[in-house]
Chain A
């Protein structure tokens, strides 16, 4: 169970295996809310939170492999050989062969397409094995529409609480509980 205080009304409880939607009035405010939520949960539950954002998320001066293990490595979640095994397993789960795994691992993020980058963010979450996942609206929509990514997100969210932060109502409801964090409460 994860407590998150975004509104003056007190903390909200996020249960593993449940999905929540948090609406902000504008896109800019949704981004700010995501910053706030990420800052709070990363402080309280270090190494147990994955943030999946549709734009960016990968550091341009690190190779993909270094990017994907970075949060888990920094938080000392597992030794490097274990992280490598998780990396390969997660990519194979997404139907990527050994040769392609090697190519992706050594590539720089700038050489990858946007959809491939989004897929890799999900791989990064799979390496981390989080208890709480924060997604922005676009990333959620992308995963919900993708036949490849949706089962992986389903698997990850079976043991993790999922909080989607966006503007207005979700494009793909997909079993979301509305947190009713509307402008009145935020």
Chain B
């Protein structure tokens, strides 16, 4: 089998990005999923860093340097990707699933097909790609803000020294793990939401069911990926 054929299920919908309406759907998805949630995740990230640092100081008596190292490890490797994915599921998975379910119930996907616009290219790919990009972005925001919050809480007025010495704490392997996990979580959540949204029956009452199902299954998928990731990296 030729390489092009092997990757056709991925490359064919991606080729749809050459169409302006598809790019528009992608940008809208990134905007609604990523941009509109920015202030929320920045606040959560900051609070997370402050909470973890105060726990480490108060309960375990760690030094400032060791606390920040531990915070970076916890935040970038585990908490930030997981938290961002949970926020993504709560905010966007249900929205995507109910939107697609509505379109399915009202025969709009069939209309798209009749118009000569592949639903996979116009509806699914931009949503999956948009949610995945947004998940990576949100994860980075949370991770960086948690580090900022932790640094500010532990160093106080001495924060400039900690910022200048940030390279001791944030290693490249931490960043790659964080981005990789966020990418896989985003992909898992978005594919689940699209699958659930498109698998509805012909009744309007199926739309809210799809919405709640997308959240529950999305959470299940996230924790499944997390478990699999942990087992693979032991």
Enumerate chain A residues within 8 angstroms of B107, measured Cβ to Cβ.
Answer: 55-56
In the complex, which residues 55-97 of chain B have their Cβ closer than 8 Å to any Cβ of chain A? none
B106–A56 touching, CB < 8 Å? yes
Contact of A49 among B106, B108, B116 (CB under 8 A): B116
| Cross-chain contact of B108 among A39, A46, A56 (Cβ < 8 A) | A56
Q: Give residues 12-47 of B contacting A (CB, 8 Å).
A: 19-22
**Contact of B113 with A38 in the complex, beta carbons under 8 Å:** yes
Contact of B114 with A51 in the complex, beta carbons under 8 Å: yes
Q: What 1/0 mask marks residues of chain A from 26 to 41 whose CB sits below 8 Å from any chain B CB?
A: 0000000011001100
Q: Is A173 an interface residue (CB 8 A)?
A: no
Interface residues of A in 101-159 (CB under 8 A from B): 134
Number of A-B contacts (CB under 8 A): 61
Is B110 a contact of A70 with CB atoms below 8 Å? Answer: no
Most A C-beta atoms less than 10 A away, residue of B102, B107, B110: B110
- Are A73 and B116 in contact, with the CB atoms below 8 A? no
Interface residues of A in 60-81 (CB under 8 A from B): 60-61, 70-71, 73-76
| Residues on B with beta carbons closer than 8 Å to the beta carbon of A56 | 106-108, 110-111
Known interface pairs A60-B102, A61-B103, A70-B21; A53-B114 also in contact (CB < 8 Å):
yes
- Assess whether B112 is interfacial by the CB under 8 Å rule: yes
Bin the interface of chain B by size. 10 to 19
Given known contacts A59-B111, A61-B99, A71 and B117 CB-to-CB distance under 8 angstroms: yes
**Interface size, chain A (Cβ < 8 Å):** 25
> If the complex has contacts A60-B106, A61-B103, are A71 and B115 also in contact, measured as CB distance less than 8 A?
yes
CB of B122 closer than 8 Å to a CB of A: yes
Indicate if the CB atoms of A35 and B111 lie closer than 8 Å.
Answer: no
Question: Roughly how many angstroms separate A13 CA and B19 CA in the complex, as a whole number?
Answer: 31
Which residue of chain A is the closest to B107 with respect to CB atoms?
A56
A17 at the interface (CB under 8 A from B): no
A137 to chain B, nearest CB (A): 15
- A59:B108 contact, CB within 8 angstroms: yes
Min CB distance B227 to A, Å, is 35
Task: Write the nearest CB–CB distance from B17 to chain A, whole angstroms.
Answer: 12
Instruction: For A34, list chain B residues within 8 Å (CB).
Output: 114
Q: Determine whether the beta carbon of B108 is less than 8 Å from that of A60.
A: yes
Residue of B nearest to A50 (CB): B115
User: A57 an interface residue at 8 Å Cβ cutoff?
Assistant: yes
Closest-CB distance, A105 to chain B (whole angstroms): 17
Please report the C-alpha to C-alpha distance between residue A59 and residue B103 in the assembled complex, in whole angstroms: 7
- Which residues on B sit within 8 Å (CB–CB) of A53? 111, 114
Instruction: Specify which chain A residues have a CB less than 8 angstroms from the CB of B117 in the assembled complex.
Output: 70-71, 74
CB pairs A–B below 8 angstroms (23 shown): A35-B110, A35-B114, A42-B115, A46-B116, A51-B111, A51-B115, A53-B111, A56-B106, A56-B110, A56-B111, A57-B111, A58-B108, A58-B111, A60-B102, A60-B103, A60-B106, A60-B108, A70-B21, A71-B115, A74-B116, A74-B117, A75-B116, A134-B114
* A38-B113, A70-B21, A134-B114 known, 4 other contacts, Cβ within 8 Å: A43-B116, A60-B106, A71-B115, A74-B122
